[in-house]
Amino acid sequence: MGLEHVKQVFEQYGKSDPMYAVLTDHARRGGKWDPADFFAHGREEITRVTQYLHDNQLTFPADQALDFGCGVGRLTQALYAHFSHVTGVDISSTMVAAAQQHNAAPDKVNYVMNDQPHLQLFADRSFDFVYSNITLQHVPPAPALRYIGEFLRILRPDGLALFQVRIGPRIDEGSLSAWWYRVRREHLRRVWQRLRGRIP
Amino acid sequence: MHFVARSQVEEVVAAAGGRIVDVVDMSRLQDGGSLRFAVRRA
């Protein structure tokens, strides 16, 4: 199971309703997110993260940070207050374009698109902090696990990666359960969502 | 929504030369757990 479907969905959302795609508050569907409120959510989240890091004595140099699955830059824009430079990376070019429009600190923040199942666009040991929240849950298991391995490759020796995943039963590539997972996720789900009139 | 097993995350981190330094339960929904991993290079 690859990333093509993920990219298709978020390219479409990036054009139609990028903030709702990132924070799915149904009352704000259809472009009703106020950007000020949207980015305030990001600052609140990063405040909680920095408090967690402080409380657990998880320290690292505050130089280079990566926001993996940056979307419109909700968290990227909050991270730059804590680092010399922040990179936001997303699978969707339309999301990256929206993020660039909302970039309040172009001297400290850059956005890049990556639709490959790896992070080869970044050199080994490039980042002090890699952060990812509510992103890997949209990525099929095989590439999601590969990205986690990539987080470690691009992490500097004293760095830290902090990432969230949804936990479920183990599904190994090539197994019968992987085949059934793919059928359910890729085919049956698309049929169901088309019936409901949503983006498959 | 996609899921991975905790054991798979642990294996990938170890294979990539890392170590898990903390895990936080971020679950808010009932249809599956959500974990946040803090990892460093080993």
Distance from CA of B32 to the nearest CA of A (A): 6
Write b or e for each residue in A104-116: b if 16 or more Cβ atoms lie within 10 A of its Cβ, otherwise e.
Answer: eeeebbbbebbee
Q: Which residues of B touch A151 (CB under 8 A)?
A: 16, 39
B14 at the A interface (CB within 8 A)? no
pLDDT value for A149: 98
Q: Which residues of B touch A45 (CB under 8 A)?
A: none
In this predicted complex, what is the ipTM?
Answer: 0.94
Distance CA A86, CA B22 (A): 23
Helix (H) or strand (E) holding A113: strand A109-113
Q: Which residues of A touch B8 (CB under 8 A)?
A: 141, 145, 170
Nearest to B33 among A150, A161, A167 (CB): A167
Nearest chain A residue to B12 by CA distance is A149
What's the pLDDT tens digit per position in A47-96? 999 999 999 999 999 999 999 999 999 999 999 999 999 999 999 999 99
User: Cβ of B21 and A133 within 8 Å?
Assistant: no
What's the pLDDT tens digit per position in A130-152? 999 999 999 999 999 999 999 99
Q: Six-digit token pair at A199?
A: 């983006």
Q: Which residues of B touch A52 (CB under 8 A)?
A: 24
User: Cβ of A133 and B9 within 8 Å?
Assistant: no
Please name the residue that has the structure tokens 């170890």.
B14
pLDDT value for B30: 46
User: Which one is predicted more confidently, A136 or A198?
Assistant: A136
Helix (H, G, I), strand (E, B) or coil at A31: coil
The DSSP call for residue B4 is B
Nearest to A58 among B13, B35, B38 (CB): B38
Q: Which residues of B touch A144 (CB under 8 A)?
A: 2, 4
Distance CA B31, CA A160 (A): 29
